[in-house]
Structure 1
Amino acid sequence: MSEFLIFQSLWAMQDHRGQCELPLQAQLEKIAAAGYDGITDHFWNARYAASLHTAAKACGLQIEGQVFPRSVDDLAAALDVACRHGCHHLTLQADIRPRTLAQAIKLIEGWQRLAEQVDFPILLETHRYRLTSDLLFTLDLLEEIPDLKLLADLSHYVVGRELPEPGAAEDDEQIRTLLRHSWGFHGRVSNGEQVQVPLSFPQHRPWLERFLGWWRYGIEDWLARAERPDSLSFTCELGPPPYAITGSEGRDISDRWAEALLLKDLMREVWGECQARP
């Protein structure tokens, strides 16, 4: 039977100063006690990856590794580290901004060849200021490379393209196209002007409902195409400032940890609804 795993981002554990008062082990213990299945963090530095693996294993948590390759060789080096310890999957924030599809395709095909050599999925994240920065460019990539596996962070395209609410049919269909190629999700809610809005504020409810609808569609589509048994991941990634909106003192205007727990519970409900359908 397929599993739905919810991870917590260690980046999201940072406060408004970019720090976390808890040491790594205590952070992971807190995350595990809150009912998460794993954590998301950088996973290419050999020493840090080893310590993260040991600490996560002690808490029964899986790892979504993040890497930021600029070349095929960059990913090869990161895989050398990741394969020593294993992970649920590896997410690529491709730190390069090609001007043409041909340049992007050549690089992606090199990464795909490497992905065939490991026993965990490698997913290309949709993210601003990365290879996938532009929604339409990414859609064109999918036409050329239909087997490309994405990690969908939809917040970047909502704010990057200033999508309106209520939405246009064309915009929603473009997002659904991405979701039909997605094998994992990073979760935050944005609007057309801000990359991360507080989930609990009533004025943001329409956007929360819209994102939940997108994620529901993505889960249903994944269930229809995934091999059994398999597992799908969703990372609660409510980042610190400047992602988080701050007040005059530079502090968050909402409790991100509480909102991450809310998002976790909402997504477990969505998964349950999807599982219950024929």
Structure 2
Amino acid sequence: MRQLLVFQSLWAMQTEPGPLEAQLDRIVAAGFDGVTDHYWKAAEVARLHAATAERGLQIEGQLFPQSVDDVARALDVISRHGCHHLTLQADVRPRSQAEAARLVEGWQRLAEQVEFPILLETHRYRLTSDLLFTLDLLAQMPDLKLLADLSHYVVGRELPEPGADEDDEQIRTILRHSWGFHGRVASSEQVQVSLDFAQHQAWVERFIGWWRYGIEDWLARPDTPQSLPFTCELGPPPYAITDADGRELSDRWAQALTIKRLVRSLWEQCVSHQDSNPVLTATIKNTPNTAR
């Protein structure tokens, strides 16, 4: 049976008190399924793997490669322990599709040699920084599997609200190629906004709609893996907006719990909708989509 796994970012826990083990205990108590963290240095990988295994948590590993060899070296370490999936924030900014494809093809060949998925994250100041460049890359490499952090395209391109049909269709194309999510809500000007403020509600609803679309599309694919990962990734300052004294304007931990509840509710709705609409499900599955 397919399931949703909700992860908590350890980057988001940087301002929380206590050592790693105390933070993991808090994450377990809050009902998360796993954690997301940097995952390539041997000692740190071994420590995180041991600590999470003891608590029944999964790991989303993060890597910031600049070359094919960077991923190969990291996989030598990671493969000794494993993870649920590995996310690549490709720390390169190629000017041509040919150079981007060369790197991605090398990473894809390496991905075929390990038992866990390797996903390319959509992120500013990375290979996938520009939405249109990424869409062109997907047209050239339709089997490319992404990890969707949509906040970067919203603030990076200053997408308007209310949105244009073309903008939403471009985001849906990203989602049709995505096999996991990093979750925060952005606006045209800010990469991470409070879920509670009245002025942000249109953006909250828009992100909910995108996530719903992504979940429904994932569920309808004939070759989906057993679980879909979604990381609550509310970063500390300067991602988190602060006042004149440097105090955050919202409670990131409380908002991570809100996102967790929201996404799990979305998942249940999507699964129920799929189960109650077999004709719709069959239609989606039979719709041509090279991302599948």
TM-score, normalised via structure 2 length: 0.93
Which residue number in structure 2 is paired with residue 262 of structure 1? 258
Which residue number in structure 2 is paired with residue 27 of structure 1? 23
Q: Distance in 1 between matches of 2:193 and 2:156?
A: 14
Give the letter aligned to residue 213 of structure 1: G
Give the letter aligned to residue 175 of structure 2: L
Q: Distance in 2 between matches of 1:11 and 1:100?
A: 32
Q: Distance in 2 between matches of 1:228 and 1:137?
A: 26
How far did residue 21 of structure 1 move?
1.9
Which residue number in structure 1 is paired with residue 6 of structure 2? 6
2:186 to 187, 190, 199: 190
Give the letter aligned to residue 250 of structure 1: G
Q: Distance in 1 between matches of 2:113 and 2:14?
A: 34
Secondary structure, counterpart of 1:91 in structure 2:
strand
2:42 to 35, 46, 50: 46
How far did residue 263 of structure 1 move?
0.5
Q: Output one character per residue of 1:83-130: Cα deviation in whole Å (capped at 9) or x when no partner.
A: 111100000000000000000000100000000000000000000000
2:145 to 144, 149, 156: 149
Which residue number in structure 2 is paired with residue 107 of structure 1? 103
Give the letter aligned to residue 47 of structure 1: A
Q: Output one character per residue of 1:46-104: Cα deviation in whole Å (capped at 9) or x when no partner.
A: 00000000011111100000000000000001111111111000000000000000000
Which residue number in structure 1 is paired with residue 157 of structure 2? 161
Secondary structure, counterpart of 2:263 in structure 1:
helix
Which residue number in structure 2 is paired with residue 58 of structure 1? 54
1:202 to 191, 198, 201: 198
Q: Distance in 1 between matches of 2:202 and 2:18?
A: 34
Which structure 1 residue ranges, 5 or more long, are not aligned? none
Which structure 2 residue ranges, 5 or more long, are not aligned? 278-292
Residues 1:254 and 1:184: Cα distance change in structure 2 (over 3 Å)? same
Q: Output one character per residue of 1:248-277: Cα deviation in whole Å (capped at 9) or x when no partner.
A: 111211000000000000000000000001
Which residue number in structure 2 is paired with residue 74 of structure 1? 70
Q: Distance in 2 between matches of 1:228 and 1:121?
A: 11
Secondary structure, counterpart of 1:148 in structure 2:
coil
How far did residue 228 of structure 1 move?
5.7
Secondary structure, counterpart of 1:39 in structure 2:
strand
* Paired residues for 1:103-142 under 5 Å: 103-142=99-138
CA contact (8 A) 2:218 2:224 kept: no
Residue 219 of structure 1 pairs with residue 224 of structure 2: no
Secondary structure, counterpart of 2:59 in structure 1:
strand
Q: Distance in 2 between matches of 1:190 and 1:128?
A: 13
Quick one: higher RCO (CA 8 Å, sep 6+), 1 or 2? Answer: 1
Which residue number in structure 2 is paired with residue 242 of structure 1? 238
Secondary structure, counterpart of 1:254 in structure 2:
coil
Q: Cα RMSD between the aligned structures?
A: 0.8
Secondary structure, counterpart of 2:80 in structure 1:
helix
Give the letter aligned to residue 128 of structure 1: R
How far did residue 227 of structure 1 move?
2.9
Greater mean alpha carbon deviation, residues 161-170 or residues 228-237 = 228-237
TM-score, normalised via structure 1 length: 0.97
How far did residue 229 of structure 1 move?
5.6
CA contact (8 A) 2:35 2:59 kept: yes
Identity of aligned residues (%): 72
Give the letter aligned to residue 30 of structure 2: A
Residue 251 of structure 1 pairs with residue 239 of structure 2: no
Q: Distance in 1 between matches of 2:8 and 2:217?
A: 23
Secondary structure, counterpart of 1:184 in structure 2:
strand
Give the letter aligned to residue 76 of structure 2: D
Which residue number in structure 2 is paired with residue 271 of structure 1? 267
